[in-house]
Structure 1
Amino acid sequence: MEPLITIRPLEILDLDQIVSIEQEAHQYPWKKSIHLSCIEREYPSLVLELDKQIIAYVVFNYLYDECHLMNITTRVSYQGLGYASQLIQVLYDKSKIAGMQSVLLEVRESNTPALSCYDKEGFERIGRRPDYYPKKEGREAGIVMRRVL
Structure 2
Amino acid sequence: MNSSSINIRPLEVVDLEQVINIELEAHDYPWKKSIHLSCIEQEYPSLVLEQNSSIIGYVVFNYLFDECHLMNITTSVSYQGKGFASQLIQAMYKKAKVAGMQSVLLEVRESNQPALSFYTKEGFEEIGRRPNYYPSQDSREAAIVMRRSL
TM-score range, shorter chain: over 0.9
Q: CA deviation at 1:148?
A: 0.5
**5 Å matches for 1:26-41?**
26-41=27-42
Cα distance in 2 for residues equivalent to 1:140 and 1:81: 28
Work out the number of aligned pairs and report it: 149
Aligned to 1:125: 126
Cα distance in 2 for residues equivalent to 1:60 and 1:22: 15
Q: CA deviation at 1:2?
A: 2.2
Cα distance in 2 for residues equivalent to 1:78 and 1:43: 24
Question: Given residue 51 of structure 2, which amino acid in structure 1 is its aligned partner?
Answer: L
**Alpha carbon RMSD of aligned pairs, Å?**
1.0
- List runs of 5+ in structure 2 lacking aligned partners: none
**5 Å matches for 1:40-59?**
40-59=41-60
- List runs of 5+ in structure 1 lacking aligned partners: none
Cα distance in 2 for residues equivalent to 1:79 and 1:2: 16
Q: In structure 1, the residue corresponding to 2:101 is in which secondary structure?
A: coil
Aligned to 1:93: 94
Cα distance in 1 for residues equivalent to 2:85 and 2:128: 23
How big is each residue's C-alpha offset from its partner over 1:96-126, in whole Å with a ceiling of 9 and x where there is no partner?
Answer: 1000000000000010001101001110111
Cα distance in 2 for residues equivalent to 1:113 and 1:7: 23
Cα distance in 1 for residues equivalent to 2:14 and 2:74: 18
Question: Given residue 144 of structure 1, which amino acid in structure 2 is its aligned partner?
Answer: V
Q: Aligned residues: percent identity?
A: 74
**5 Å matches for 1:1-149?**
2=2, 4-149=5-150
Question: Given residue 128 of structure 1, which amino acid in structure 2 is its aligned partner?
Answer: R
Cα distance in 1 for residues equivalent to 2:132 and 2:48: 30
- TM score, norm. by length of structure 2: 0.97
Q: CA deviation at 1:137?
A: 1.1
Question: Given residue 43 of structure 2, which amino acid in structure 1 is its aligned partner?
Answer: E
Cα distance in 1 for residues equivalent to 2:50 and 2:22: 12
Cα distance in 2 for residues equivalent to 1:27 and 1:55: 18
User: Runs of 4+ in structure 1 displaced over 2 angstroms?
Assistant: none
Cα distance in 1 for residues equivalent to 2:77 and 2:52: 17
How big is each residue's C-alpha offset from its partner over 1:36-91, in whole Å with a ceiling of 9 and x where there is no partner?
Answer: 00000000000000111100000000000000000011101111111111111011
